[in-house]
Amino acid sequence: MAALQTISTTAAPAAIGPYSQAVVANGMIYTAGQIPLDAATGTLQATGIKEQTEVALANLKGLLESANSDLEHVVKTTVFLKDMNDFGAMNEIYAKYFVSHKPARSAVEVARLPRDVLVEIECVALVKTK
């Protein structure tokens, strides 16, 4: 069995349940969903979809960097939206983070997200090689 490495960092909000922020296995990073919480305080700072997407992606970026990766090594993202009518506004911010490299992505509308946020984003990424 491959060794698993649990990632725990202050560059992203602490887990709000019994799960890891991310796990590295076989050269891949699997992140927990990132919601728009302040990494230091765990409080919700943003109210609109654009601002919430910005914070969620910044948290994802920090988490990946803590696991020896970055946004350029993301293979796939999954975006959970409370309201699919926010898809365009979310895409506007998302495009700022994935400029030249565009990973595969799924976007789904869900009934409810933790802390009643508007967006949650998770990803699978490659660990950077030396």
Q: Which domains does the chain have, with CATH numbers?
A: 4-126 (3.30.1330.40)
% helix, strand, coil for the chain, step of 5: 30, 30, 40
The HSE-up count of residue 17 (CA atoms within 13 Å, CB side) is: 6
pTM of the predicted structure, to 2 decimals: 0.96
Of all residues in the chain, what percent carry a pLDDT higher than 90?
94
The HSE-up count of residue 65 (CA atoms within 13 Å, CB side) is: 9
Each residue's pLDDT tens digit, 21-72? 999 999 999 999 999 999 999 999 789 999 999 999 999 999 999 999 999 9
Split at pLDDT 50, 70, 90, the class of 129 is: confident
pLDDT of the residue at 63: 97
pLDDT of the residue at 56: 98
